Amino acid sequence: MINHIPPSSSANVFLQSLIETTGHLAITWSLRNTKYSWKCLSPTLLRRTAKEACPDRTDAFTLKYVHLSLFSHLPPWYPACATPHWTPAPPAPLTMPDESAFEKRLQKAIPKINLVNAPKARYFGSKEIGTGVNGSVVQVLVKSANNGLRLALKRCKLDHDREYRAALVRELKIMATGHNNLIKLREAAVFKSEVWMAMDLMRCSVFAVLCVRGLPEEYAVYIVQETLNALMFLHAKGFIHRDVKCENLLIGPNGEVKLADFGLATSSKHVNRERLGTAKWMAPEVIREQPYGEKVDLWSLGITLIEMMDRVPPHYALKKDEAVFEKILEEASPTFTYSYPSVYCNGLVAWLLEENPDNRPSAKDAATEIDAHISQDLLKTTNAQGLAAFVTKTM
């Protein structure tokens, strides 16, 4: 019997060797009034291990042989892959996401939206027109539509992750609200471990216009007004978008402006501190991973206003996110670089880009202030028809 084990780090090595050895010698010891027992390969190996572990304290170890009949009822222990008696465990069975359960969840979450049973037979086309957080977007033709209805289709993988599934449901619920300034969900489907989202087909994104030219101030202000309408609705419903930028602002054939891609949207009813979004549009509190709320969307909108007129966001030349974060946190709030906005447009951007979110306006406050400036002819704006004509001329 091992009556005593010296309290040293080398003793830990010795104990580990006991665990890893094999055989039929019973060994017990008391450590902090707790008794353990193993079977060891041989007394010779045990003595050698003890001597190597504690050369100056081998007297602390005493062995006691136990008759093998005491262990005859126990099967021998073999290391993995060291004996023909070992058989590898079969792989875990492949489990597929429960599509029927998720489809029932969608029926409850978006009861007014048609859930298509056979989407592959209904939609035709594969021209990619954009990408989203959860998947790419393609233009499709609805086969059964007599008028040749064209929609934008996004397909997202359906997996077992609960948070990912909740995000998909949240995205669908937001689009199903039908608000005039949010991209509208027309149909949905759950098919072969995928979620299909059929949405209104828009003409282009604001970003596509910027690839040709920057926006004059009146068009940029109009787009900001329409985006604020979308944000007021989202925030009132308890959602934060977290990814407002020109790529996610879509322009319709008649000059409508709609906010899209709600893959990063979250609820404002619980504490949010995840660093999510697009680096150059992130508010300081998001970068610091501090608790944040709806005001992060107003910061992103301020960056988006600069982007619309300058054609690029601030810190555009920086490629690494960490370098962008350092600039945002250490430098003063950005402003226009390549365009010449009015004094009041400059003031609007400075207000939206207040570093302290408590000093930043809400979407409603910003919309009210813009309307007041427009009514006093301090800011210029346009309308849907004017924007549609501008896009037609530009594109």
Annotated binding site for ATP: 154
Rounded distance, CA 385 to CA 253, Å? 10
Rounded distance, CA 334 to CA 363, Å? 20
Rounded distance, CA 168 to CA 166, Å? 5
- Three-state SS for 71-103 is HCCCCCCCCCCCCCCCCCCCCCCCCCCCHHHHH
Q: Is 243 designated active site?
A: yes
Rounded distance, CA 270 to CA 273, Å? 10
Buried b (16+ CB within 10 A) or exposed e, 277-303: bbbbbbbbbbbeeeebebbbbbbbbbb
Angle, in degrees to the nearest 10, between helices 217-236 and 295-310: 160
Buried b (16+ CB within 10 A) or exposed e, 156-191: bebeeeeeebebbbbbbbbbbeebebbbebbbbbbb
Could you identify the residue written with the tokens 């309308």?
A: 383
Q: Active-site residue among 200, 243, 297, 310? A: 243
Q: Which amino acid is at 200?
A: D
- The DSSP result for 17-52, as a single string, is HHHH--SSEEEEEEETTEEEEEEES-HHHHHHHHHH
Rounded distance, CA 184 to CA 368, Å? 26
Known binding-site positions: 154
Q: Which helix (H) or strand (E) holds 138?
A: strand 136-142
Rounded distance, CA 196 to CA 188, Å? 5
- Annotated active-site positions, please? 243
